[in-house]
Amino acid sequence: MFKKIFVCLSIVALLAPMGGSAASSLAERLKGHVLLQVASHGEAWYVDPVSMQRIYLKDGAAAYSIMRSYGLGISEADYAKLAAGNVVLRSRVTGRIVLRVALHGEAYYLCPRTSVLSYIKDGSAAFQIMRSCGLGISNSDLAQIPVAPTSSVQPATGNSQLTTSNSLAGCPIFPSDNPWNQDISKLPVAANSAAYVNSIGAAKGLHPDFGENRDYGIPFNIADNSTPKYSVAFDYADESDKGPYPIPARPEIEGGSDQHLLVLQKDECKLYELYDATLNTDRGAGWTAGSGAIWDLKSNALRPEGWTSADAAGLPILPGLVRYDEVSAGAINHAIRFTAPKTQKAYIHPATHDASSSTDPSLPPMGLRVRLKASYDISKLPPQAKVIATAMKKYGMILADNGSSWFFQGAWSGGWNDDDLNTLKTIPGSAFEALDTGALVK
């Protein structure tokens, strides 16, 4: 997997003999570095500067996903200083992965060995960074640095697989047993599946509501403890979490009428979401929104029964978005958010809210889980589309809002390929089946 060239470039890179060094001292000296096992053909590890623990980088795609998940949000002003060589700022973030919040989390790594700031565009770029920045290390010295709980230690054969997980910016996107993260490939089909699919549109095609154009998609922001928090005035205050809400100086907000503002606070591992967010001066300086919800990403707690969120179904939005970092890493490990033109006045958990006055039982309820049929052939789809379609077979989609038929949502990235994504439009609604995931709540 990792070529022997790794070892050749870094075999003499460690600074001094390690005999007798305490594990904590060694981890402190090597924090932020990529370490390459000389005796194991350059198997790679990243030493997290915060926890001082090492994370296994199986290959370029895994390195891209993992390194991004340990990223630190950065403003455009600070990024400009970093790129210009600001000594003070560089000393603070050397060895860290920084995420440009204003550009949907574009990731950069400041190599502590070369002081080069590199753009981690994808798995290939991560591979090149590991090759140019890696430090050779012996197995005995590596063993002094503890392995992170989220990392998989490779066996002697080197054929281990990373543990499947759904995380972002170092935070879990809900526990592994959360409905969003549930493998539904074996769940039974709902008795009225055909009626639901026909209602949404059996002949209508799947539609990715995101792509190369940054005017499409739902953006998200990464914040930390330095991000200021603000009170928000809500139109639906009785079903909104009071806050305050962390909001970056120039946050990314969804275009169009919904104006969703999503913020993941990585130091708290909490998700703050607003619907119709506006920095409004005509009602007094401050933020206003239609509704808002705060989610503890380490908990499976739902909204109170009958409550909305920043989404019509009372669901979180970010967990259901298709993200480029996941697709480029080769797997989406969660369900995907989608819309339907008409819904009934009912919902299925984990949804907690309906958005209809109709009692027509043929209409789908909010929270409905659908799955791309196992028999549907996706073998000829191009790379990005195939990863997404595979996730639709294993994790499915969850109905979250009223909207166009089979539109599913993602976050913008410059890495998307519209020609690739548009092949998903050839998948008809009839290729999906509704699942039995629980009783209707009316």
Give the chain's length: 442
Note the pLDDT tens digit of each residue in 58-104: 777 777 777 666 777 788 888 999 999 999 889 888 998 888 877 76
Note the pLDDT tens digit of each residue in 151-166: 443 323 222 222 346 8
Question: Rounded to whole angstroms, how far apart are CA atoms 244 and 248?
Answer: 13
HEC string of 83-98? HCCCHHHHHHHCCCEE
Radius of gyration of the chain from its Cα atoms, rounded to whole angstroms: 23
- Which pLDDT value is given to residue 322? 97
CB burial of residue 34 (10 Å; 0-12, 13-18, 19+): buried
- Which pLDDT value is given to residue 285? 61
- Please report the beta strands in 65-137, taking only residues with DSSP state E, as ranges in sequence order: 72-74, 97-100, 106-110, 117-119, 135-137
Q: Is the dihedral of CA 90, 93, 97, 98 positive or negative?
A: negative
Q: Convert 356-378 to b/e letters by CB count within 10 Å (16 or more is b).
A: beeeeeebbbbbbbbbbeeebeb
Phi-psi region of 273 (alpha: psi -120 to 50; beta: other; left: phi over 0): beta
Question: Rounded to whole angstroms, how far apart are CA atoms 279 and 434?
Answer: 40
Name the DSSP class of 410. B
User: Phi, psi at residue 343, to the nearest 5°?
Assistant: -130, 165
Q: Convert 135-169 to b/e letters by CB count within 10 Å (16 or more is b).
A: bbbeeebbebbeebebbeebeeeeeeebeeebbbb
Token pair listed for 349? 């958990």
- Which pLDDT value is given to residue 144? 85
- Which pLDDT value is given to residue 146? 83
Distances (CA, A) of 212 to 13, 36, 104, 235: 41, 35, 13, 33
Question: Rounded to whole angstroms, how far apart are CA atoms 234 and 241?
Answer: 9
Question: Rounded to whole angstroms, how far apart are CA atoms 272 and 310?
Answer: 9
Q: Which residues in the chain land under pLDDT 50? A: 1-22, 150-164
For the whole model, what pTM was predicted? Answer: 0.67
